[in-house]
Chains A and B, each alone.
Chain A
Amino acid sequence: GENVEQHPSTLSVQEGDSAVIKCTYSDSASNYFPWYKQELGKRPQLIIDIRSNVGEKKDQRIAVTLNKTAKHFSLHITETQPEDSAVYFCAASKGGGFKTIFGAGTRLFVKA
């Protein structure tokens, strides 16, 4: 069935370093790829998204890249800060369809 795999499950970086989280999806019809950040005890919040007609999107320290051929997309966080510590979820959907499939999440620790 449809699936989104996310790696790594845990990531620890030093403050100021970059962090990269990778996801692959199985449904080639997927065309919308959001990323959510969930801080401890709080709700997930949309931080960036990308549609299949775009290969890369950037918003300040956060960027997402998409490789449709490989069915692979990644989140890049530069100049990490302690407040970036959270669980990050990738997701894929057909956008306009009904199902958003989530990855299992990556717990990011940024050490000061």
Chain B
Amino acid sequence: DGGITQSPKYLFRKEGQNVTLSCEQNLNHDAMYWYRQDPGQGLRLIYYSQIVNDFQKGDIAEGYSVSREKKESFPLTVTSAQKNPTAFYLCASSASTGYGYTFGSGTRLTVV
């Protein structure tokens, strides 16, 4: 499982709570991404970052926030504003923006 690490593997969130998902890569990749995976809907882009200290919204950014203070790290915060956060979250990185991704093993978030 080298290359890109997501933690935790499972996460439970109470109503009104913010939670942060970790994503770390040692591939020296410039670009990093967060996707949400729901059954039957494929992968939907939440946020992406091409370089340190810069990130852009994807298709479903509402209720989420990110930071990119280090090249290796791209944490995702699921805020209380995200009304339906239960899903499988995948972090990915690539050497060049838009080309072949390396994915992390994912975090399964459940609202309790």
Are A43 and B99 in contact, with the CB atoms below 8 A? Answer: no
CB–CB A99/B98 < 8 A = yes
Does chain A have a CB within 8 A of B40? yes
Q: B42 is contacted by which of A42, A95, A102 (Cβ under 8 Å)?
A: A102
Known: A43-B90, A94-B98. A99 touches B45 (CB 8 A): yes
Residues of chain A within 8 A (CB-CB) of B97 are 96-98
Residue interface mask B12-53, A partner, CB < 8 A = 1: 000000000000000000000101000011111100101000
Interface centre among B33, B35, B45, B100 (most CB of A within 10 A): B100
Which residues from A are CB-within-8-Å of B44? 102
- The interface on chain B, measured as residues whose beta carbon lies within 8 A of the other chain's beta carbons, has a size of 24
Name B residues whose Cβ lies closer than 8 Å to a Cβ of A: 33, 35, 40-45, 48, 50, 56, 58, 90, 96-106
CA–CA, A46 to B58, complex, Å?
21
Contact A89 B43 (CB under 8 A): yes
Determine the chain B residues whose CB is within 8 A of the CB of A6 once the complex forms.
Answer: 42
Tell whether, in the assembled complex, residue A104 and residue B40 are in contact, meaning their CB atoms are under 8 Å apart: yes
Interface status of A28 (Cβ within 8 A of chain B): no
Question: Can you list 14 contacts pairing A with B, beta carbon distance less than 8 Å?
Answer: A4-B42, A36-B101, A36-B103, A45-B103, A93-B98, A95-B99, A96-B97, A96-B99, A99-B45, A99-B48, A100-B101, A102-B43, A104-B41, A105-B42
Bits for A30-51, please: 1 = Cβ < 8 Å to B, else 0.
0010101000001111100100
Task: Return chain B residues, CB-CB under 8 Å to A44.
Answer: 43, 90, 101, 103
Contact A97 B98 (CB under 8 A): yes
Interface-central residue, B35, B48, B90, B101, by most chain A CB under 10 Å: B101
- Min Cβ gap B111→A in Å is 21
In the complex the two chains form, what is the Cα distance from A104 to B40 in whole Å?
A: 6
Known: A43-B103, A99-B45. 18 other contacts (CB 8 A): A4-B42, A32-B99, A36-B101, A43-B104, A44-B43, A44-B90, A45-B103, A46-B101, A93-B99, A98-B48, A98-B50, A98-B97, A98-B98, A99-B58, A99-B98, A103-B42, A104-B42, A105-B42
